[in-house]
């Protein structure tokens, strides 16, 4: 029995449709997967006055994020409960996937200078300073958090940004927090 052109046309249409679907899927992956690898990030830089955090490699900006800070963002953290975000050089030393916020990466505040200052003044310098996402269960309230300083001294980003930072920044990475 001779084949008709209809069967060939249908097979060709299905093949083209399948190829287009696969190509579009690949493009989505390319666009949505960061082109930065964790091993490339050698420093995190925070500029408090600009409410900006950068992931760097040899001084080159790889990624940029808008951030929220402590409720009293001006000045360096001096004691527990002052609602300030510290300033200085620290290390991102461990991560907490079971945090009260969407993931968190610990900043090793207080450092030696912070401890010496606190001891001299008789203060408790505090601790528990992290980079983290929104409070768990509050994802639907992004509009209340974005663009405002709402933490107790931590650095906050949106959840999708936190997931990206979590995947790109290795434990032991330096973080510098500038005024």
At 56-92, the pLDDT tens digits run 999 999 999 999 999 999 989 998 999 999 999 999 9
Mean pLDDT of 129-152: 95
Q: Is the pLDDT of residue 53 over 90?
A: yes
User: Quick one: 1 and 48 in the same domain?
Assistant: no
User: Quick one: 132 and 68 in the same domain?
Assistant: yes
User: Quick one: 138 and 62 in the same domain?
Assistant: yes
3-state secondary structure 72-90: CCCCCCCCCCCCCCCCEEE
User: Quick one: 80 and 111 in the same domain?
Assistant: yes
Token pair 């290795």 in the structure block, residue: 170
User: Quick one: 44 and 96 in the same domain?
Assistant: yes
Q: How confident is the model at residue 4 (pLDDT cuts 50, 70, 90)?
A: low
Structural domain boundaries enclosing 2: 1-33
Q: Is the pLDDT of residue 26 over 60?
A: no
**How many structural domains comprise the chain?**
2
Instruction: Give the pLDDT score at 148.
Output: 95
H/E element, 114: helix 112-121
- Residue 127: which CATH number? 2.40.440.10
Mean pLDDT of 126-152: 94
Mean pLDDT of the chain: 86
User: Quick one: 73 and 7 in the same domain?
Assistant: no
User: Quick one: 3 and 80 in the same domain?
Assistant: no
User: Quick one: 132 and 160 in the same domain?
Assistant: yes
Q: What is the pLDDT of residues 164-176, one digit of tens each?
A: 999 999 999 999 9
User: Quick one: 169 and 115 in the same domain?
Assistant: yes
User: Quick one: 96 and 82 in the same domain?
Assistant: yes
Distance CA 12, CA 14 (A): 5
User: Quick one: 52 and 123 in the same domain?
Assistant: yes
Instruction: State percent of the chain over pLDDT 70.
Output: 78
Q: Is the pLDDT of residue 22 over 50?
A: no
User: Quick one: 26 and 60 in the same domain?
Assistant: no
Task: Break the chain down into helix, strand, coil percent, rounded to 5.
Answer: 35, 25, 40
Q: How confident is the model at residue 156 (pLDDT cuts 50, 70, 90)?
A: very high
């Amino acid at each position: 029995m001779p084949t008709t052109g209809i069967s060939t046309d249908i097979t060709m249409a299905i093949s083209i449709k399948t190829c287009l679907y696969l190509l579009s899927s690949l493009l989505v992956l390319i666009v949505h997967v960061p082109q930065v690898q964790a091993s490339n990030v050698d420093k995190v830089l925070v500029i408090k006055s600009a409410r900006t955090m950068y992931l760097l490699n040899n001084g080159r900006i790889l990624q940029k994020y808008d951030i929220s800070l402590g409720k009293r963002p001006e000045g360096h953290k001096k004691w527990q409960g002052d609602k300030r975000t510290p300033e200085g050089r620290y290390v991102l030393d461990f991560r907490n996937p079971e945090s009260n916020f969407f993931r968190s990466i610990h900043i090793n505040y207080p450092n030696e200078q912070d401890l010496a200052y606190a001891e001299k003044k008789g203060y408790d310098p505090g601790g528990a300073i992290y980079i983290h996402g929104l409070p768990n269960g509050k994802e639907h309230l992004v509009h209340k958090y974005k663009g405002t300083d709402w933490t107790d001294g931590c650095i906050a980003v949106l959840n999708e940004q936190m997931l990206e930072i979590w995947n790109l920044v290795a434990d032991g990475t330096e973080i510098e927090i500038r005024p």
